[in-house]
Amino acid sequence: MIAGRAQAAASELGIARAFGSYEDLLADPDVDAVYNPLPNHLHAEWTIAAARAGKHVLCEKPLATTAADAERMIEACEAEGVLLMEAFMYRLHPTWEAVMSLVASGRIGELRTVQSWFSYFNDDPGDIRNLVETGAAPCTTSAATA
């Protein structure tokens, strides 16, 4: 059933290949790298599986739900000789690359402090990104715990 749904979506979008499971995708020798956008609590499991299958991994943020899991992911990727990168959008964004170049040039003086804020509004208590059991941070606001 999953393979059929994957194939239907691939056909609709003009994608040549589809897989019925993560295992099938990781077993394909023509796949060099994977993007791991799974819920946070699955990042470590599937990043390590991808590394063991010899695939480079771009893992959605947060990389892991614990420091121990992040260390296991890094160790697995290093052991298999594959790259691991967290999908943190700002790092390679052209605007931030320009800022880094400007700071590095010294044109605006010495950098002393950086203050930044990224947020989005999501107060749905049933959203997987808000469930502690799937890797969300515990929240004490009434909107997230209602």
> DSSP assignment of the chain, as one string?
-HHHHHHHHHHHHT-S---SSHHHHHH-TT--EEEE-S-GGGHHHHHHHHHHTT-EEEEESSS-SSHHHHHHHHHHHHHHT--EEEE-TTTT-HHHHHHHHHHHHTTT----------------TTSGGG-GGGTPPP--SHHHH-
Catalytic residue list: 61
| Whether the model pTM is above 0.75 | yes
**Tokens representing 56?**
């480079």
Per-residue pLDDT of the chain in tens (146 residues, 90 and over written 9): 678 898 999 999 999 999 999 999 999 999 999 999 999 999 999 999 999 999 999 999 999 999 999 999 999 999 999 999 999 888 889 998 999 999 999 999 999 998 888 787 888 989 888 888 887 776 544 444 44
What's the pLDDT at 139? 55
Closest by CA position to 39, among listed 27, 28, 47? 47
